[in-house]
Amino acid sequence: MILKRKFIYVILFIVLLPLKSMASDVHLPSAGFDCSDTNNKFEFLFDRSKDMDNPKVYRRINGKFVLIGNLLAEKQGAYVIWEDKYFFTTTDFAWIFDKVTSKLSSAVLSVGLGTENLNKIPKPMTCMQKIFYY
């Protein structure tokens, strides 16, 4: 009887352990934005699963969502501003999404070393809200 109970506990542990790790993983369906123009396409994902007050922002780079920074500011129904630490290496760069017009624009927060070509900053583009399943 005790052996049977231990066997059941082991089976439950094996079955439930992966569910716990999946619940904290960003690879679950998540809300974000799909923004594009004639030259560029960006996909952003917002993860509030671990901390509702300090959500993490991911961008699809080479087919995978990579953590690019934190949400800097948000006003419900108006705008969202988040940092992108991968777009430039020494320049502090942020994206600004206008929720009213669904337009994505960018801002340089500080130039840093000044060694990067700021001409690669994309022009404002149109976005669609999207649920990412991956």
The answer to whether the pTM exceeds 0.95 is no
Strand partners, 80: 74, 97
Residues in the chain with pLDDT < 70?
1, 3, 6-7, 9-10, 12-13, 15-29, 51-52, 134
The per-residue pLDDT for 5 is 73
The per-residue pLDDT for 130 is 85
Q: Is 127 exposed, middle or buried (0-12, 13-18, 19+ CB in 10 A)?
A: buried
